[in-house]
Structure 1
Amino acid sequence: MTDLNGRNAEILKKKKLWLLDMDGTIYNENEIFEGTLDFLQQIRDNGGRYIFITNNSSKSVTDYVQKVTGMGIQAGFEDFYTSSQATAMYIRENYPGQTVYCMGTRSLVTELRESGLSVVTEPDESASVVLIGFDTENTSEKIRNTCIMLGRDVVYLATNPDLVCPVSFGFIPDCGSMSIMLKNATGKEPFFIGKPQPIMVDCVLKNTGCSAGEAVIVGDRLYTDIATGKNAGVDAICVLSGEATLKDIEDGDIKPDFLFRDVKEIWQKLR
């Protein structure tokens, strides 16, 4: 078994835990990629398990379960770990009892509240933490309110640094681009919780009892997915079905351990 670069990838057949990005890796918006279902079945046939780790905070885990099962993917609540979950955990551990102002989707706000956090969506003097997510429901009023909050002495966090999110016609601005917009207005930059921080991978390894050597991460972005693998000490596969291109890999400093065209090719090689 070799990858696109001719590197020996036999080690992948022994991996027990597959940490899978979603947008640009197993599907594009609402279209599942060819070979995804076969790939996931092959992981199970090899005695492994897959968990979806996504930086996309626009949907709750409940939303994601509904979306992927509608695509024919076998997955439950326990098969996901999102930047929203990691963010909620980070805030509970580092800023317990503090009120959070959130610029995000209704799903993100609901999920944060259900995790036990006090969350507001309008300017509020009691809020000491400002959080932004990938807000697909954004408005000029939300942006204005967030700028008001960032004018105060607050902790500033963001769910993920992704600049774009792949969609059917190309890309749309993601949370990272929204943070650049807000920096231009306020001069402030957030601390990003999701990939490439190792927080999400570390939590999944702990929850599953798997070692870093037994796991592999698959994704389409060098600066999030692949960098996360490096930061967490986990082998990383880059697929060319999303954001990263061969030129990006050749010219960039972040190099994947393995390279495949898409998950269909991984499935074919795993067989």
Structure 2
Amino acid sequence: MRSELEPTTAEWRQRFETINTFMLDLDGTVYLGDQLFPWSLPFLRKITAQGKQYIFVTNNSSQSARYYVEKLTRMGIPVRSDQIFTSGEATRYYLDKYSFARRIYLLGTPALEEEFREAGFTLTDDRPAAVVLGFDLTLTYEKLRRACGLIRQGVPFIATHPDFNCPTPQGPIPDCGAMTALITAATAVAPKVIGKPHQEMVEALCAKFDIEPANVAMVGDRLYTDIAMGRQAGIMAILVLSGETQREDLDGSPFQPDRIAEDLGEIAEWL
């Protein structure tokens, strides 16, 4: 069944036709786990044929852009590393924008550590400029102890994204937001959070790709990250019902999309 919110009004159609960049969430929007949705590749081909661009935007900071390029390539999607944007990259942009010294204490996976080192950061617990928490699948008590000690000393605390759970085929697992809650409970210090839905994610995206918010659409399956970011940043927010959010979840939600589509295939019909 197709969405009842067809783009029929002249005002909305005019706005939609100005979109030249689609920011696309990944899991639940383009694929589910390791299974590519059948409508995703035709949608991307149609965007390309019309001279528009797409950028894959994810809060998952446990993996590098290289990982997503390899995964999408295996699925048959043509993609370059510069078309992948993670909350980890947005965090590095934030640190540079506000002139943090390139010495940080990082709680992250080896993949995230490698990306920070390649960007010129020194990872250390000796007088760091910030404590940065990512989605750390290698989190240990010792890492937590050191991080809490530094934060209590006044070292700025930054988290790559707010998600409490990460979906997996086996069910949800604790994500960065849950780890943040633990540290905040121990230190009484809340972090600066960078990823979706926060404005810093959009600022970093627009700066990197030299795009204007008025010409951008955010497409995703989560109200509290994808849609919230779009609405708060003043960019078009399109909800797809192919992932986490169901139509009944919109009742009472403070984050309402500009348009609802069953999936990327329906959006392709709008183009």
So what's the TM-score if we normalise by structure 1? 0.89
Residues 182-209 of structure 1 show CA distances to partners (whole Å, capped at 9, x for unaligned) of 2222222111011112233333334444
Tell me if the contact between 1:133 and 1:159 (Cα under 8 Å) persists in the aligned partners.
yes
- Which letter maps to 1:171? P
CA distance in 2, matches of 1:181, 1:131: 14
Tell me if the contact between 1:24 and 1:166 (Cα under 8 Å) persists in the aligned partners.
no
- Which letter maps to 2:84? F
CA distance in 2, matches of 1:170, 1:25: 18
- Which letter maps to 2:119? S
Tell me if the contact between 2:7 and 2:270 (Cα under 8 Å) persists in the aligned partners.
no
How much does 1:7 deviate? 4.8
4-13 or 106-115, which deviates more: 4-13
Aligned match of 2:166:
165
Aligned match of 1:55:
59
Aligned match of 1:232:
233
13-22 or 216-225, which deviates more: 13-22
Count of residue correspondences: 266
Aligned match of 2:20:
16
How much does 1:57 deviate? 0.6
So what's the TM-score if we normalise by structure 2? 0.89
CA distance in 2, matches of 1:190, 1:209: 28
- Does the C-alpha gap of structure 1 residues 33 and 97 become closer, same or farther in structure 2, counting only changes over 3 Å? same
Tell me if the contact between 1:157 and 1:190 (Cα under 8 Å) persists in the aligned partners.
yes
How much does 1:153 deviate? 1.5
Aligned match of 1:36:
40
Tell me if the contact between 1:88 and 1:117 (Cα under 8 Å) persists in the aligned partners.
no
- Does the C-alpha gap of structure 1 residues 68 and 261 become closer, same or farther in structure 2, counting only changes over 3 Å? same
- Does the C-alpha gap of structure 1 residues 242 and 180 become closer, same or farther in structure 2, counting only changes over 3 Å? farther
Residues 48-71 of structure 1 show CA distances to partners (whole Å, capped at 9, x for unaligned) of 110111111111112221121111
Tell me if the contact between 2:238 and 2:257 (Cα under 8 Å) persists in the aligned partners.
yes
CA distance in 2, matches of 1:94, 1:215: 25
Aligned match of 1:77:
81
- Does the C-alpha gap of structure 1 residues 242 and 204 become closer, same or farther in structure 2, counting only changes over 3 Å? same
Tell me if the contact between 2:33 and 2:168 (Cα under 8 Å) persists in the aligned partners.
yes
Tell me if the contact between 1:42 and 1:270 (Cα under 8 Å) persists in the aligned partners.
no
